[in-house]
Structure 1
């Protein structure tokens, strides 16, 4: 079967559009957008989520990389003063210098790039992103295991699975279900800013796999007795697989093992 231009664009850009009103409401409810705050939408697409964001919020900046879709959006929203349409790739944009939130039904192929952009943006308050369900579950610890990326950023970011979306709700229909991944900046960090770099090095050492266990990996950087005492105090088995250590336990381990610098 011969593919049309729009078909090829959807395939290349990973576009799966939402038209289901229940799902749009589910995403916006999870996002809890501030009506007076700045909202950035990743991949406006056909405007289904854009319409609801504009209805609820006074300032929305919507990014769209597909010029055909952008032209349609411009025609529909031309008279809408609260919306600014931006052509191009979202991750090429500079993060705003004021607090802002991100919402988007994002292309699966660009998930890691978009999430990294959000994590690294200093003024980001929240990000509510539709991703593959497996990705959202892994990042939020929904499998009972935790990724290094989540653990390293846990002192200032809360990661959670905020909902599930059946694949039948999208057009074209993807092969897998989706999840709503919610990132939220903590009002108060769980570690002082001056300790974050040391904490991230501590986590990287623990996830290195050197020595065959978390205990053995940490022994390479810290005194054995201090590491063993911290593991016992936090009720963490010496032979536990590193991914099963909760983010809160990582922070407690770090505080017990790492020397304070005055």
Structure 2
């Protein structure tokens, strides 16, 4: 049975045509996951593999013709939702899988991270975006603001030839998982995230100078020494544990 959750977003998606990539994505969904929401189901390549793996699938697709085709193809085996993946919310516990249109990766991440019903999200995004979000080298402010509650893992590179139409860049598999024990209490989320934004946008050649504009010098020095952080370290080079410790120190 299909239901409608209409939205204005226009999907510019590159569809997966490599069955090995499809299998790899499905294999990253926890076994016995039960309910899985596929955002942007498209032609149904991932949908079919998820069904074959024994998951109860909610397939979200904006295009009414594709949604109708999915409904005819899968019948009662899949719940088809015609709607915008940037607006859809699933209240029941679930996991998420999506071949994300490259142009909306950040809006989708913000949309997902603001929800609390899902446990794991397997996202196929642009390669460089996947690397940045997973802190391969340096992290972004978005990742740092959510690190106490989620892990961000780079799970592989997908060549452009695995898509149709073929994009100009490769894809990357980004896996988000909710931490069993958060590094900061969720009730303190707003205060923690405000701190991260202040540090990332603060003035100074490294966290030492930035933090000395926010707290007494002796407090900053004690935190730097305790965690072996150089004063010249950039905010994007801090780890999840260092951010959490910094929040506890300054709060």
TM-score normalized by the length of structure 2: 0.90
Contact 2:149 2:186 in 1 (8 A): no
Distance 2:58 2:177 in 1: 19
Please point out which of 26, 46, 50 is paired with 2:24.
26
Aligned counterpart, 2:3? none
Structure 2, gaps ≥5 residues long:
1-9
Contact 1:205 1:218 in 2 (8 A): no
Q: Residue by residue, what CA displacement relative to the aligned partner does 1:186-241 show, whole Å, maximum 9, x if unpaired?
A: 11111233433332222122111323432222222211110111111111111122
Find out whether 1:122 has 2:119 as its counterpart.
Answer: no
Please point out which of 85, 89, 97 is paired with 1:90.
85
Structure 1 position 82, deviation (Å): 3.1
Q: Residue by residue, what CA displacement relative to the aligned partner does 1:130-185 show, whole Å, maximum 9, x if unpaired?
A: 0000000000011x101111111111100011111111111111111101110000
Find out whether 1:229 has 2:222 as its counterpart.
Answer: yes
Please point out which of 164, 182, 192 is paired with 1:189.
182
Aligned counterpart, 1:6? none
- Superposed CA RMSD: 1.6
Q: Secondary structure at the match of 2:86?
A: helix
1:1-262 paired onto structure 2 within 5 Å: 13-35=11-33, 37-78=34-75, 81-93=76-88, 95-142=89-136, 144-255=137-248, 257-259=249-251
Contact 2:205 2:234 in 1 (8 A): no
Structure 1 position 58, deviation (Å): 4.2
Distance 2:50 2:118 in 1: 17
Structure 1, gaps ≥5 residues long:
1-11
Contact 2:149 2:178 in 1 (8 A): yes
TM-score normalized by the length of structure 1: 0.87
Aligned length: 242
Contact 1:43 1:62 in 2 (8 A): yes
Aligned counterpart, 1:7? none
Distance 2:101 2:124 in 1: 9
User: Which is greater in Rg?
Assistant: 1
- Return closer, same or farther for 1:207/1:21 CA change in 2, 3 Å cut-off: same
Contact 2:37 2:95 in 1 (8 A): yes
